[in-house]
Structure 1
Amino acid sequence: MSDAFTVLAAGGTVVTANKRLARSITLDWNHHQRAAGLQAWPAGRVLSWPSFIASLHALSQRRGGEAGKRLLLGEVHARLLWQDIIEAASADLLPGAATPLAEEAARAWRLLCEWRIPLAGLAVAADSRDSLAFAGWAEAYHSRCESGGWADVAMLAPMLLADLGRGGIEAPARLHLTGFTDRTPLQEGLLEGLAARGCRLSTDGPPAPAADTSHRRCSDPGEELEEAARWARRWRDDEPHARIGIVVTDLASRPAEVRRRILDVISPRWRLEPARQLPVNFSLGQPLAGFGLVRVALRILGCLAGQLDHRHAVEMLTSRYLPDGAVEASARARLVWKAGRRTGTTIPLGKLLAEAAGDAPLLHARLAALLEAIGRVPRRQRPGQWADAFRLLLEAVGWPGDAPLASDEHQVADAWQELLDELRSCDAVAGALEQPAALQLLGQMASERLFQPEGDPGAIQVLGTMEAIGQRFDALWVCGMTAQSWPPPAHSTALLPLRLQRAHGLPGATPALVREQAERLVHWLGAGARQLVFSSPSFEGDEPLAPSPLLASLPAAAGLPRWPDKLWVGRMLDSTRLERLDDDPPPPVSDGEHPRGGSSLLEHEAACPARAFVQHRLGATEMPVPAHGIDALARGSITHQALEFFYTAVGGHEQLLALGEEGRRQCLDTAIGRAIAGWLPDEADAVLRKLARNEHERQRGLLAGFIASECERPGFRILDTEKREASAAGLPALDRLQLRLRIDRIDELEDGSVLVIDYKTSRQLPGKNKWVGRLYSPQLPLYATLCAAGGIAFVQITAGKLAWQGVAAGACGIKGIMPADKLGDPAIGSWPELQASWRHGLEKLAREFLGGCFNVNRKQPQDARGEWAMAIRPQELGEMPEDEP
């Protein structure tokens, strides 16, 4: 580092291998100047290699050099160009396949240029369809750049070298290189040209070995991370100003686990204090599109299509990045709930605007301004114009909100503005774009740009391998040094001929080259550190792991500093104590209280009284989530309505037979059409209407089979369909609930008895003990009590299965409906006795509910899953004992 500081003090330039190292040296330089007692000093000129090339290009532009006449393509511009070329050359590509191919093509092109491999012989040397295709793409890319007057960073270096030779640009007086474990032939050529023009070059000397280097074996990757974090925390406690780093060789493949395990040791309260600045910097960035502030911006811009995906609408409406969110939080939550009950997975923006008018006037005003701004945006324009339009739309809706932004959020907002600037610069490459293509391009750019907010430079650093090269640490721990991962497997590009890669010594072309690079990296890691620890896990799951052979000469770690305390979770568990709580049951239902619900209230009480209380007395419901297409609930509703319309028109068995097959088919089609029309929203899109037509065909096939079976039944007459009833059964507790009921169908049989029918469109019917004991399926017994019925039955109507399941006073000629005296219960010998047991069971459930029962039924845990589990928490009660009643 002292060599770099000497060059900076002399006004020279320091060039680094990557951006992170450039930032690190800049921070160290500023700290060094402050430590020297200076109040002000010239900014150190520290540039990454791509930034250094861009600075030479800018100098060539000012001096009229040949390189300066070219437009410098950034990574996004080059990828767009590659993508356009690949799509034009490959008509059979699947949608979206050109994007990853463009990234790999850009990598292969960069290697081609940096190792000075002639483009002319590429097609001749091709050894596969992929390498032959790339040869054609590369020719097209080079031709497009030549005709457009463009050049990427890799293409620019030879042009700059020519400008140096002609005197078109001046070489910098002093240049220091740091962090380069390897330099490419292209870099070497440019540096030689700079030296020939009088530039004084210097590089980092051979890395000094760490004072204390050792190898630590751990049981598994999780323990390895915990031990590294404990070591780092102890170093920080002992020496607060020491530079401490943890390198995780596979950081990119498990960022969430690394973050969690390290923070649990170093900052145990990180989950409870999310806004607090962390004492750890994680170098691995995440896609810019993954940050909430940018995600919401993309959702807002998605309104250009005139409608929003339900999930995107929920994220936008509940976001703190829209103004007045705290003021209208409840109103916006109601909007989200209403949106979830809509048919389809998209919400028209106009509909959302109308629904916001009453409940959320501030949101309504913002959405109205957004709609007005959208109306002024042309459908087709250049990327730069789209960038301006996107900014205006976000301003119209008040993004990023009225709450103060944290430091990392300010950085994300700045990165977003830079992204829009980059979109603006795509005019030359992309041309005019339609609105969907412009939104897709912006979303793709946001997804591909990795961003990491800058944190405290003095924090513990958690890095990938390459990011640690060139940085100086007092203490460094390197995780994951197993034989399987280090040296890493050889990874050559599939787009360049392998023989060509090996002949020029490209990275990853042979195992020998990979090992040589791995040895150099190990040599550079922790250079000059006071303590360097390499570690490796012994197992991953059941698989044994060996340490890297590159560590064979290192001594086993002993006496490492280690933070000894228990983790926060362990301390919390140790601090628990048994607390006796006084029984505090919910109050009984008061005279003025009217719980909501039909027969489902009793069904929920039977299955889980706690859920019945939460749902029917507190009014809680699960948050509705729209289904993609037509879900099972909607299909069941359509089936019920279609049968209601059909049997209201037909009336009974005699009329059913009189219609004939064609008449029944026409009547059924009419009934299904009415049912689907009542379900389909007016603003349904073409996809949903197509699904509705498919559903009509499905329902026809399903119900035609059921109606055909009805023709074979003994005679019956339809007394009512979808009959509404009040729960007045002469039972005090049940009558007090005043349940509003709906009976699917009531038939009068040939002997004059009444059969109550409930349609079931699910694949499972209630269990075999549904008619006796605790009434877990109280719906039909309740209906039978109200209607003085002589029988009850479920009829299951599903694809491939049609079945009746019921009980009656006597045989009724329908398979699946058994007489009451055949139930096999010694206490039930007749239909009146069964009815009496039902009245007792129904009244018992009603009394339980009215009395405020809040028991959790551990025999029926499935009734407290999902969102109900968060309210009822049955998992805290443990498993049901075998002998518990």
Structure 2
Amino acid sequence: MNFSDFFKAIKQGAVVITVNQRLSRHLTSRVEQALVDEGAAVWDSPMIMSFDVWLLQCWQRRFDLQSNEASASLVNKTLLTQEQALVIWERVIRQTLGAELLNVPATAKAASKARQLSLQWMIAENAVNDISTGVDMASFNQWHDAYKDELNKSAWIDRAQLIKTVSELVDQDCLPLPNQIIFSGFEIYTPTQQSLHALLIEKGHQLSEFSAEAATNQTHVLKAIDRKEEVKLMAQWARERLDENPDNMIGIVVPDLEVMRESIESAFKTVFYPSVVYPVDVPFEKPYNVSLGQSLLSYSPIQQSLRLLQFCSQPITFSELCLLLRSSFITAGQKEWGQRARLEVVLRKKGILSCSVKQLRNSLQAPKDDESLCPLLLKCLNEVIELLEAKPNRVLPSDWVQLFRSFLATMGVQGDRVLSSTEYQVFQVWDDVLKSFSTLDEVYSVITFETALNALRKILLERVFQPETPTAAIQIMGLMEASGHTFDALWVCGLDDKTWPQSPNPSPFLPLAEQRNKGLVQSSAEHQYQHAKIITKNWARSAKTVVFSFSHVKDETLQAKSSLIEGYPVITKEQLLQQLPVNPIEHRVGNKNFKWIEDVSGPLLEKSETVRGGVSILKDQAACPFKAYVHFRLQTNALQEPEPGIDARLRGSLVHRSLEELWTKIKTHKALCDLSVDEQYELVKAIVTAVVQTESKRTAILKKALGQLETERITQLLMAWLNIDRQREPFEVIATELKQLLSVGELQLNTIIDRVDKLPDGSLAIIDYKTGDCSINSWFGLRPEEPQLPLYSVFSEGNVGSISFAQLKKGQTQYQGLTDSDDHFSTLKNLADKKVKADYDQWNSQMGHWRTVLGGLSDEFVTANARVSPTAKACQYCDLTSLCRINEQITQRAAEDE
């Protein structure tokens, strides 16, 4: 049947049944365009639908058949949705011995598929029930019997039975069908379909097939180096075909589209929108469309809706909370986005690892007479908490749906901005899913909130959604989607000998011999080959120009072309394309000559510009100028990541504050030595307890047993430390947490010295507390790793005679430092010590060197030297990896060396 006869039959009322919904839309579009070409202004919608939709329509018409006694039993049955059927499968599987060892949802899907295959391909019941067939099949038989009992008991039928049911309606003359029925796009018919065909012919219906073919044909085979090149060439070819004629309809078939989708979209965006260097998305109508739908669970509106429902039920992780706060799919998401970003920073500093609705509400409640950081979000949370107080324990799925809707409406899930077309469609489908979920009342008893949410999540995971978009000239399709289509040009990729034909994949729940005897495509290599041969021939005649391609290398393995594309002439990429693909930058600049300039400086630091950061400015400048520039000129830092337990920063802060309080009370070495051990312990314990209790008001983790454990840990640590201070020569603590403004070159640095001791000779000992690893060798060199104590020694007032780390770490409580005299701080080293990798062996010379080095670092920062030039360890814990270009430098240098 050609298109003219097909079009004539449509106008005479024929119904067209297609292999899939995509072909239905394609044929409907062609018919409607033909009607327009004839001058028609209005017309009845052509009866073109997929086989599954046609069966469903026939079933739905059973309500018109109540007067027919023969069909009365069918009228009273209920057709289960796929979701309802899977719930029953899961239930019967869980009731069997050993079910705890199975992935029940996956097993239920496989069992449902096996039932469908057994009915479609008329595999005899006695073959399925043969107990000698193996453990898997024996288990399936047990589940299947229980499943059928459930259906019979409740007068249900499932989708697998629908074709048989419709056949019964046809046989009883209960369906008023048109005289002519046309099938299109079917490459193979199952036995049940063949039986239905025979029945329709017996009842006097005229059956025919429509298979459109291109008038002329040129088919070539292309070999690409690898999959990446294959995809690039395909995108460039599609662009050239469209440039030749904007009215061309171009097909792209990718057998493993689900796996290759991201690479395909990236290649097409690069070719069609070369000006977009990193084309994450294109906000305007594209000339190409990827037909493969994605799980609803992959769309942001769905993810946010589930996240909000989870949040209403139980605490969520901090990372989930951050996604919630940043989302626009929540009340006032746009209006309060700045405040919510600040809220996230606050919560990060508190070290929150998980959060409930009430905890977030409490964090947002401001002190009396102050305004909340996010008042609109706070109002929303208060309303949700009221709903939660009335939340039932167990109800039917439809009841949970009502509550889900209430929660989401209260949380303002659609946000406060105009939705995009895709977002709007996703919310429409979400509403349909909730309606579908309500029908699970048929198969569920009362369930908990968590069970309902998990069941809903499974449905969303399985439900595939493809947003409706304007018809694009280039259609990128999966393996079976091109069936029945015609194009002006078609490219089928991935046709190597290991991929095409596909490998057999028989059902483990049905006898393999029966599957092969009945001709199930996936049951054997021979059946796969014959089916692939038919598909390949159909591809070759479905367009005027056809390209079959394969990659020579895939996953580091050499491949040959599939035997099914042998005999077609080979073409090279140079013969196929007018222009080979280039990268986006080459596309824009062409053959122009450019002078490369490396810009490593930012704007100079103005005298009026205030820079905060203290000693950390020089520390970062020494580690890497780029790091200092980003942190302190651009004021950009990575967000603090909450950690389980008490993190190192909080532990260090508690130790510092405890020592400050201790020496404020003790003051001198003599006073310390006058304390008995018990008196010392009582003093330390009281001070540490007070410090931890004060901090617990801001940090929730310290309110529980962990706070008590930390109090005891710090107490023991400080007891050990004070015993070390007892062994020192006499000293007087003249300052703790001493704030100073130090001038280093043109920089004014606000600093805080942990402790300053006055020694008997009048010199000063500057001490910096460290609760982790430390080394005095980090003070030396042109770019010192730890410039803090050198800075204090050179630029502080007074006669500094020693500098040291006070290392307070379990098992490593010690002083590490330098002194200009062994007489008053004998535990420290002098510059002449061989273990000290100092720049000079004399105190004054080292001081002068430090003044020069630190002054140079200050000058670098003031002149905005932002070169990416890290020291050996600078990149190890750097928080700027996503911003820095160090890896590009390494790659460029390697290329230059080659």
TM-score grouping bracket, smaller chain normalisation: 0.7 to 0.9
Q: Is the contact between residue 613 and residue 852 of structure 1 (CA under 8 Å) also seen in structure 2?
A: no
2:674 and 2:540 mapped to 1: Cα distance? 88
Q: The residue matched to 1:412 in structure 2 has which SS?
A: helix
Distance change >3 Å, CA 648–CA 176, structure 1 → 2: farther
Q: Is the contact between residue 397 and residue 438 of structure 2 (CA under 8 Å) also seen in structure 1?
A: yes
Report the CA distance between 1:828 and its aligned residue.
2.5
1:726 and 2:728 matched:
no
Partner residue in 2 for 1:278: 286
2:236 and 2:702 mapped to 1: Cα distance? 60
1:324 and 1:211 mapped to 2: Cα distance? 57
Aligned pair partner of 1:385 in 392, 395, 399 = 399
Q: Is the contact between residue 610 and residue 854 of structure 1 (CA under 8 Å) also seen in structure 2?
A: yes
Instruction: Output one character per residue of 1:753-792: Cα deviation in whole Å (capped at 9) or x when no partner.
Output: 8765545455x64683523544331223345565866544
Report the CA distance between 1:99 and its aligned residue.
2.3
Distance change >3 Å, CA 792–CA 583, structure 1 → 2: closer
Aligned pair partner of 2:60 in 58, 61, 86 = 58
Instruction: Output one character per residue of 1:369-396: Cα deviation in whole Å (capped at 9) or x when no partner.
Output: 5445555554433222322333333333
1:806 and 2:814 matched:
no
Q: The residue matched to 1:466 in structure 2 has which SS?
A: coil
Instruction: Output one character per residue of 1:657-703: Cα deviation in whole Å (capped at 9) or x when no partner.
Output: 9649x997x9999888777766668896xxx799x757977997899
Partner residue in 2 for 1:9: 11
Partner residue in 2 for 1:34: 36
Runs of 5+ unmatched residues, structure 1: none
Distance change >3 Å, CA 647–CA 76, structure 1 → 2: farther
* Residue correspondence of structure 1 range 165-244 to structure 2 within 5 A: 165-171=171-177, 173-204=179-210, 211-244=217-250
Q: Is the contact between residue 383 and residue 430 of structure 1 (CA under 8 Å) also seen in structure 2?
A: yes
Distance change >3 Å, CA 532–CA 613, structure 1 → 2: closer
Q: The residue matched to 1:43 in structure 2 has which SS?
A: coil
Compare 257-266 and 713-722 and name the one that shifted more.
713-722
1:81 and 2:88 matched:
yes
Q: The residue matched to 2:372 in structure 1 has which SS?
A: helix
Distance change >3 Å, CA 727–CA 379, structure 1 → 2: same
Distance change >3 Å, CA 871–CA 281, structure 1 → 2: closer
1:470 and 2:470 matched:
no
Q: Is the contact between residue 615 and residue 787 of structure 2 (CA under 8 Å) also seen in structure 1?
A: yes
Partner residue in 1 for 2:512: 498
* Residue correspondence of structure 1 range 808-823 to structure 2 within 5 A: 808-809=819-820, 818-822=829-833
Report the CA distance between 1:332 and its aligned residue.
3.0
* Residue correspondence of structure 1 range 414-493 to structure 2 within 5 A: 414-493=428-507
Instruction: Output one character per residue of 1:43-85: Cα deviation in whole Å (capped at 9) or x when no partner.
Output: 1222222222211221224324333322222222222222233
Distance change >3 Å, CA 497–CA 102, structure 1 → 2: same
1:741 and 2:756 matched:
no
1:768 and 2:785 matched:
no
Query: What amino acid does structure 1 have at the position aligned with 2:727?
Result: G
Instruction: Output one character per residue of 1:610-643: Cα deviation in whole Å (capped at 9) or x when no partner.
Output: 4334433553332334345655545655666687
1:258 and 2:267 matched:
no
Q: Is the contact between residue 791 and residue 854 of structure 2 (CA under 8 Å) also seen in structure 1?
A: yes
1:668 and 1:187 mapped to 2: Cα distance? 87
Distance change >3 Å, CA 871–CA 430, structure 1 → 2: same
Aligned pair partner of 2:548 in 521, 527, 534 = 534
Report the CA distance between 1:522 and its aligned residue.
1.0
Distance change >3 Å, CA 582–CA 23, structure 1 → 2: closer
Distance change >3 Å, CA 528–CA 615, structure 1 → 2: closer
Report the CA distance between 1:553 and its aligned residue.
1.6
Partner residue in 1 for 2:296: 288
2:282 and 2:443 mapped to 1: Cα distance? 41
1:316 and 2:332 matched:
no
Q: Is the contact between residue 861 and residue 874 of structure 1 (CA under 8 Å) also seen in structure 2?
A: no
Percent identity reads 25
1:546 and 2:552 matched:
no
1:675 and 1:201 mapped to 2: Cα distance? 88
1:403 and 1:341 mapped to 2: Cα distance? 30
Compare 173-182 and 703-712 and name the one that shifted more.
703-712
Q: Is the contact between residue 187 and residue 534 of structure 2 (CA under 8 Å) also seen in structure 1?
A: yes
1:570 and 2:578 matched:
no
2:658 and 2:164 mapped to 1: Cα distance? 75
2:765 and 2:851 mapped to 1: Cα distance? 18
Instruction: Output one character per residue of 1:255-295: Cα deviation in whole Å (capped at 9) or x when no partner.
Output: 10011112322343563872101110101212212222322
Runs of 5+ unmatched residues, structure 2: 366-370
Report the CA distance between 1:368 and its aligned residue.
4.5
2:127 and 2:656 mapped to 1: Cα distance? 71
Report the CA distance between 1:238 and its aligned residue.
1.8
Alignment RMSD, CA only? 4.3
Q: The residue matched to 2:738 in structure 1 has which SS?
A: strand
Partner residue in 1 for 2:368: none
* Residue correspondence of structure 1 range 322-333 to structure 2 within 5 A: 322=330, 324-333=332-341
Q: Is the contact between residue 171 and residue 198 of structure 1 (CA under 8 Å) also seen in structure 2?
A: no
Q: The residue matched to 1:176 in structure 2 has which SS?
A: strand
Partner residue in 2 for 1:858: 869
Partner residue in 1 for 2:252: 246
Distance change >3 Å, CA 110–CA 331, structure 1 → 2: same
Q: The residue matched to 2:523 in structure 1 has which SS?
A: coil
Partner residue in 2 for 1:44: 46
Partner residue in 2 for 1:510: 524
Compare 77-86 and 873-882 and name the one that shifted more.
873-882
Instruction: Output one character per residue of 1:787-843: Cα deviation in whole Å (capped at 9) or x when no partner.
Output: 866544446677887786433345699999532222566863344544454455445
* Residue correspondence of structure 1 range 818-829 to structure 2 within 5 A: 818-822=829-833, 828-829=840-841
Instruction: Output one character per residue of 1:453-499: Cα deviation in whole Å (capped at 9) or x when no partner.
Output: 12232420111111111222121111010001111111123333434
2:688 and 2:153 mapped to 1: Cα distance? 62
Distance change >3 Å, CA 831–CA 158, structure 1 → 2: same
1:269 and 1:36 mapped to 2: Cα distance? 42
Distance change >3 Å, CA 209–CA 28, structure 1 → 2: closer
Partner residue in 2 for 1:135: 141
Q: Is the contact between residue 481 and residue 534 of structure 1 (CA under 8 Å) also seen in structure 2?
A: yes
Q: The residue matched to 1:263 in structure 2 has which SS?
A: helix
2:233 and 2:550 mapped to 1: Cα distance? 11
1:868 and 2:880 matched:
yes
Q: Is the contact between residue 756 and residue 767 of structure 2 (CA under 8 Å) also seen in structure 1?
A: yes
Distance change >3 Å, CA 710–CA 339, structure 1 → 2: closer
Instruction: Output one character per residue of 1:330-368: Cα deviation in whole Å (capped at 9) or x when no partner.
Output: 333322332333322323334544538534444444444
Query: What amino acid does structure 2 have at the position aligned with 1:482?
Result: D
Q: Is the contact between residue 383 and residue 432 of structure 1 (CA under 8 Å) also seen in structure 2?
A: yes
Q: Is the contact between residue 217 and residue 543 of structure 2 (CA under 8 Å) also seen in structure 1?
A: yes
Distance change >3 Å, CA 610–CA 342, structure 1 → 2: same
Distance change >3 Å, CA 470–CA 806, structure 1 → 2: farther
Q: Is the contact between residue 689 and residue 711 of structure 2 (CA under 8 Å) also seen in structure 1?
A: no
Q: The residue matched to 2:481 in structure 1 has which SS?
A: helix
Q: The residue matched to 1:553 in structure 2 has which SS?
A: coil
Partner residue in 1 for 2:24: 22
Q: Is the contact between residue 293 and residue 321 of structure 1 (CA under 8 Å) also seen in structure 2?
A: yes
Distance change >3 Å, CA 283–CA 639, structure 1 → 2: farther
Q: The residue matched to 2:282 in structure 1 has which SS?
A: coil
Compare 667-676 and 855-864 and name the one that shifted more.
667-676
Report the CA distance between 1:595 and its aligned residue.
3.1
Q: Is the contact between residue 212 and residue 484 of structure 2 (CA under 8 Å) also seen in structure 1?
A: no
